[in-house]
Structure 1
Amino acid sequence: MDTQFPWLTLITLLPLGAALFIPLLPDQDGRTVRWYALGIGLLDFVLAAAVFAQHYDMQTAQVQLAESYAWIPQIGLNWSLAVDGLSMPLILLTGLINTVAIFAAWQVKHKSRLFYFLMLALYSAQIGVFAAQDLLLFFLVWEIELVPVYLLISIWGGPKRQYAATKFIIYTAVGSLFILLAGLAMAFYGGNFTLDMTALGLKDYPLTLELLAYAGFLLAFGVKLPIFPLHTWLPDAHGEASAPVSMVLAGVLLKMGGYGLIRFNTQMLPDAHIYFAPVIIALGVVNIVYGALTAFGQDNLKRRLAHSSISHMGFVLLGIGSLNSVGLNGAMLQMLSHGLIAAVLFFLAGVTYDRTHTLAMEKMGGMAQVMPKTFALFTAGSMASLALPGMSGFVSELTVFIGLTSSDAFTSSFKMGVIFLGAVGLLLTPVYLLSMLRRVFTGNQQGDMFDKYMADANPREVFIAVSLLLPILAVGLYPKLATQTYDVTTTALAAQVHQALPAIAQEQVPLYAQLTHSAPEIPLSATAIARF
């Protein structure tokens, strides 16, 4: 492959460009359109995997791909794309989840042309977010991604779809404004205006500006992750979205928030990250415990899974706030792991809904007798979600805990408190997941709505679930399959943060030292937040 060929541009724009031809396709009950959309999704995924493998440097464990073209020079906007250890695995995750989500939408016949057009447009926007290296380009694709999701929920969603879609667009659009405000403040600082994200990370900002920019990015990405209390749009969106849309929402969109926190907050603003690290960890603990506790109160199957996602994304925050490479490794692995696990669980929730026409667990029961394949697949996904050893969820959450406990930036009492509260969330997870399985699949059938001849998962549905469960098992048994793609990048990021520690140490104050070690060589600013 010629390294000068614009592979990243092709990978990014192929789904959107192909979607433009959908209105020209002959439509026979949507069959031609759905096969076309599936072919494009699979082609883009395979192309990305092949290009990344071809340009993967074994010595540096990095993909050597970068492109930059002048787009609108009058405002300094460039079409600038690049792939590194952070973006490559997330782009591959995007390709896999979107492809299987299109396959999962096989029964969509209402406005099928528009549905698959939006799915492919969303596919392109997601890749653009992970590959963009120009701040304004990043903001544009981040905003463009909101439109397909809004329409996919508002047109093909449940009874309260308009409310859920409107809440989603308001939360995420308002949060996105903080990306633009914080980014432009950084771009104009110093008299050398630039939108290049690498150049922005190299600027020497005053601490006040860096803290303000960090807070702005935290709000924006905190909505998408989501972080409590900015999370309330998520259960509503999942509760009303169709299963394929929920797969993409949980499998990819939430990871955009975690990616932004690592790419912008950690990499570009390392000094502020040191000050905010205890806050990030505290928010992570709240997410873990709050999400697990509120999951118990959800009778709606998909809303329970949505609150479970809030809890699991808390581990991403713990890893980001740990200030070491092991913790960052765990955060990345948790994003990849949760993307696969959440996608398969929401897909199987959709399979269950297709048969029962309800998401209310109180109306279910005894379905294991008539749907044994679905029960087996749902159980496997739930075991992965509750971090059963041998599956990716166990490895990722264990890595986060090891990263936090091995961090020399916090006192033992602080770390033990965080570990204890995180363990509470871990203990609650199997309880609400096993309770969910019991209520849906065991016991007596509720009412007379179920037919003893109800169709079990068909071969297409089994294939979709297995295609997501196999990577979960593979990463669980051999984590290096995933970690080798980003280990060098996360190690470099952790080293960059640690370089800022000596400067922060000179500004220590007594209250700050109560949370962290007082030794100058291993400081962390907790009370600087109060000063800010």
Structure 2
Amino acid sequence: MLIPEPILAHFPWLSLSIFFPIVGALIVPFIPDKGEGKEVRWYALIIALITFLITVAAYFKGFDPSQEGLQLYEKVSWLPDLGLTWSVGADGLSMPLILLTSFITSLAVLAAWPVSYKPKLFFFLILAMDGGQIAVFAVQDMLLFFLAWELELFPVYLFLAIWGGKKRQYAATKFIIYTAGSSLFILLAGLAMGFFQGGGMPDFGYTHLAQQNFGKGFQLLCYSGLLIAFGVKLPIVPLHTWLPDAHGEATAPVHMLLAGILLKMGGYALLRFNAQLLPDAHAQFAPLLIVLGVVNIIYAALTSFAQRNLKRKIAYSSISHMGFVLIGIGSFSSLGTSGAMLQMVSHGLIGASLFFLVGATYDRTHTLQLDEMGGIGQNMRIMFALWTACAFASLALPGMSGFISELMVFVGFVTDEVYTLPFRIVVASLAAIGVILTPIYLLSMLREIFFGKENAKLISKAKLVDAEPREIYIIACLLVPIIGIGLYPKIMTDTYISSIDGLVKRDLLAVERIRSDQTTIISNSNLSIGTIEAPLLD
């Protein structure tokens, strides 16, 4: 399943997409600038756009969506004495997220146009983070993955600590404690898996790890640690508390990177490592993922209701939507898992658009408290139209990407006969509550911001200028794929369906092994194991 194509003499698209923005970032300090950041803005935008074009070229020049295996594969000996190699590649699980990363980063650079405080450092961090996040999705070695995973921690920490709001130090410290602390589980699991055979040189490559016959106890132990690490980044309730604080203090471009890319790293890693490399453990943990997904959906939606801070309201909305990713990953159907993948891409676009609008609104009103807003729609009609379109996308309006991705997760899970019928009915019913709650709190949010009684004090003091061309362009760039995927999802699902099918087949084989083991236990002991059958193994 993970066996790569032979190493061909093809152009190293993926290595270029990783190192080009990083090298570009290293040049930023040497750019002549008068202190206003004009030159460095244009430079960063050009570097980000070229990186995006490189990833697009990689897709069209060297990626075949119909193939399940690894493509665009590059492997170079790095530290042979330690068993380390530079190996990158792309399959259906990684290619859509590589494209999403470079696309969102380009728009984040444009969103950062007003940044005037330490602009060189700000754009240096954006470009470095671009290369690091692409590396997370492209590398094919678990230790390289750990290094890339850690690389993005420091830019986000500095974004929060330097350019954040009043509680920026608290938010930055909480972020680094949660994410860096949980990353230790990735390192420990990677070392354990790489040294599994013992005696010889360790091999941390995904291809090698996928071929190992890890024992069930070993898989369960590694799976538990990785679930904590990736659950923090997704995030999974109750490992989520860093996210509302981080979003509450971040600036608009940092919001876009957090919501558009950072959260997707957790979902991707769950698919790549937990579901793909540890199938026996995944078959045991999948019901827990389903339950955690439902908790995410309902808890975060209800909490979003109570938030009077606009950033925190959208942050909890993001947590709720990522619950569908958990349900899709926990399902054993190609449709459900495909829906989880589509939900990651969809939420990356929708979350980035909403948080950008939050930042644009704050720049005008200088408040995030919904109680202090109201009646600004008369002064900002275009801004209201942009907000409405993005809110409709978030509440899964038919014709937009959020609708089709959540529908795929629902249908894929409900028709998944691996789980018992009562369990499927209960989960679907509870998840539907979250779907109903979402339009209620989003539409009421729009009403509180743009309609109702005007806050005369706010109207008189704030410069309620309507959306400018730069802002309209950013939202338009995000709405085009949101609507395009919603109307014709095949354009996205075709890029990864072959890889998803192979992943699901591998996990279903693990389910069959569990069924076989349970049958053996029953025949040998004549004991009922009905408690094991619910909710798994109908």
TM-score relative to the length of structure 1:
0.95
User: By how many angstroms is 1:347 displaced?
Assistant: 0.2
- Structure 2 distance, partners of 1:161, 1:102, is 21
- Structure 2 distance, partners of 1:240, 1:447, is 27
The DSSP-based 3-state class of the residue aligned with 1:220 is: helix
The DSSP-based 3-state class of the residue aligned with 1:71 is: strand
1:119 equivalent to 2:126? Answer yes
1:143 equivalent to 2:150? Answer yes
Match of 1:524 in 2: none
1:75 equivalent to 2:75? Answer no
Amino acid at match of 1:12: I
Q: Which moved more, 1:230-239 or 1:62-71?
A: 62-71
Match of 2:531 in 1: 511
Decide which of 384, 400, 410 is 1:391's aligned counterpart: 400
User: Cα deviation per residue 1:30-54 (whole Å; 9 max; x = unaligned)?
Assistant: 0000000001001100111012111
Match of 2:509 in 1: 499
Matches for 1:343-422 after TM superposition, within 5 Å: 343-422=352-431
- Structure 2 distance, partners of 1:230, 1:453, is 39
Decide which of 455, 465, 470 is 1:455's aligned counterpart: 465
Does structure 2 conserve the Cα–Cα contact (< 8 Å) formed by 1:68 and 1:79? Answer: yes
User: Cα deviation per residue 1:409-431 (whole Å; 9 max; x = unaligned)?
Assistant: 01111000000000000000001
Instruction: Sort the Cα spacing of 1:76 and 1:130 in 2 relative to 1 into closer, same or farther, 3 A.
Output: same
- Structure 2 distance, partners of 1:59, 1:218, is 30
Match of 2:246 in 1: 237
Instruction: Sort the Cα spacing of 1:501 and 1:153 in 2 relative to 1 into closer, same or farther, 3 A.
Output: same
1:436 equivalent to 2:445? Answer yes
- Structure 2 distance, partners of 1:355, 1:454, is 6
- Structure 2 distance, partners of 1:416, 1:345, is 32
User: Cα deviation per residue 1:294-319 (whole Å; 9 max; x = unaligned)?
Assistant: 00111110100000000000000000
Does structure 2 conserve the Cα–Cα contact (< 8 Å) formed by 1:370 and 1:453? Answer: no
Structure 2 residue ranges without an equivalent (≥5): 1-7, 519-528
Instruction: Sort the Cα spacing of 1:62 and 1:479 in 2 relative to 1 into closer, same or farther, 3 A.
Output: farther
Decide which of 481, 484, 489 is 1:474's aligned counterpart: 484
Match of 1:11 in 2: 17
1:318 equivalent to 2:327? Answer yes
- Structure 2 distance, partners of 1:59, 1:396, is 21
1:223 equivalent to 2:218? Answer no
Amino acid at match of 1:230: L
User: Cα deviation per residue 1:94-153 (whole Å; 9 max; x = unaligned)?
Assistant: 011110001000010100000000010111110010001111110001011100000011
Does structure 2 conserve the Cα–Cα contact (< 8 Å) formed by 1:61 and 1:484? Answer: no
The DSSP-based 3-state class of the residue aligned with 2:498 is: helix
Match of 1:529 in 2: none
Match of 2:454 in 1: 445
Amino acid at match of 1:350: G
The DSSP-based 3-state class of the residue aligned with 2:517 is: coil
- Structure 1 distance, partners of 2:313, 2:210, is 39
Instruction: Sort the Cα spacing of 1:494 and 1:59 in 2 relative to 1 into closer, same or farther, 3 A.
Output: closer
User: Cα deviation per residue 1:412-459 (whole Å; 9 max; x = unaligned)?
Assistant: 110000000000000000011011101111112224122486211100
- Structure 1 distance, partners of 2:236, 2:58, is 34
Decide which of 496, 511, 514 is 1:486's aligned counterpart: 496
User: Cα deviation per residue 1:456-498 (whole Å; 9 max; x = unaligned)?
Assistant: 1100110001100111000000001110100000011001111
Does structure 2 conserve the Cα–Cα contact (< 8 Å) formed by 1:66 and 1:83? Answer: yes
User: By how many angstroms is 1:59 displaced?
Assistant: 4.6
- Structure 2 distance, partners of 1:264, 1:517, is 23
The DSSP-based 3-state class of the residue aligned with 1:69 is: strand
Match of 2:524 in 1: none
Amino acid at match of 2:481: P
Matches for 1:19-418 after TM superposition, within 5 Å: 19-28=25-34, 29-57=36-64, 59-60=66-67, 64-191=71-198, 192=200, 193-418=202-427
User: By how many angstroms is 1:286 displaced?
Assistant: 0.2
Amino acid at match of 1:318: I
Amino acid at match of 2:148: V
Question: In percent, how many aligned pairs have the same letter?
Answer: 56
User: By how many angstroms is 1:202 displaced?
Assistant: 1.2
User: Cα deviation per residue 1:166-194 (whole Å; 9 max; x = unaligned)?
Assistant: 00000000110000111111111122521
Instruction: Sort the Cα spacing of 1:416 and 1:59 in 2 relative to 1 into closer, same or farther, 3 A.
Output: closer
Structure 1 residue ranges without an equivalent (≥5): 519-532
User: By how many angstroms is 1:510 displaced?
Assistant: 2.5
Does structure 2 conserve the Cα–Cα contact (< 8 Å) formed by 1:67 and 1:80? Answer: yes
User: By how many angstroms is 1:58 displaced?
Assistant: 5.8
Give the number of aligned pairs.
517
- Structure 2 distance, partners of 1:249, 1:3, is 36
Amino acid at match of 1:356: T
Does structure 2 conserve the Cα–Cα contact (< 8 Å) formed by 1:22 and 1:33? Answer: yes
- Structure 1 distance, partners of 2:375, 2:78, is 59
Instruction: Sort the Cα spacing of 1:138 and 1:61 in 2 relative to 1 into closer, same or farther, 3 A.
Output: closer
Amino acid at match of 2:29: P
Amino acid at match of 2:475: A
- Structure 1 distance, partners of 2:87, 2:537, is 42
The DSSP-based 3-state class of the residue aligned with 2:87 is: strand
Matches for 1:510-529 after TM superposition, within 5 Å: 510-518=530-538
The DSSP-based 3-state class of the residue aligned with 1:57 is: coil
Does structure 1 conserve the Cα–Cα contact (< 8 Å) formed by 2:286 and 2:330? Answer: yes
- Structure 2 distance, partners of 1:140, 1:56, is 25
